[in-house]
Amino acid sequence: MPPRMRVGPGMAIALGAVLVGLHARPAAAQRPNVEFTVTGTSTIRGWTCSVSGVAAVTPGAGSSVPAPGFATGVQAVTMTVPVKAFKCPNDEMTQHLFEAMKADKFSEIVYRLEKYEVSARQTQTTGTLTMTGVTQPISLPITLTASAQGVQIEGNTRLDMTKFGVEPPVVMLGLLKVGPQIRIEFKGIVAR
pLDDT digits (tens, 9 = 90+) for 33-86: 999 999 999 999 999 999 999 999 999 886 678 988 999 999 999 999 999 999
Range of 110-114, 174-178, 188-192 with top mean pLDDT: 110-114
pLDDT at res. 15: 29
User: Which residues on neighbouring strands pair with residue 54, listed in sequence order?
Assistant: 80
Pick the closest to residue 188 from 55, 76, 48, 29 (CA basis). 55
192 pLDDT tier (thresholds 50, 70, 90): confident
Residue percentage of the chain with pLDDT more than 70: 83
- Name the CA dihedral angle for 111, 70, 145, 151, rounded to a multiple of 10 degrees: 70
Contact 37, 46 (CB under 8 A): no
The DSSP symbol for 163 reads G
Contact 145, 118 (CB under 8 A): no
Cα–Cα distance, 109 to 113 (Å, whole number): 14
C-alpha angle with apex 129: 126 to 131, nearest 5 degrees? Answer: 170
pLDDT at res. 29: 52
pLDDT at res. 92: 93
All structural domains of the chain: 28-190 (2.40.128.110)
Cα–Cα distance, 116 to 189 (Å, whole number): 19
Tens of pLDDT, residue by residue over 116-129, are 999 876 899 999 99
The DSSP symbol for 33 reads -
- Over 90: is that where the pLDDT of 94 sits? yes
Q: What is the mean pLDDT of residues 135-145?
A: 95
Cα–Cα distance, 153 to 123 (Å, whole number): 10
Q: Which amino acid is at 175?
A: L
Cα–Cα distance, 35 to 32 (Å, whole number): 8
24 pLDDT tier (thresholds 50, 70, 90): very low
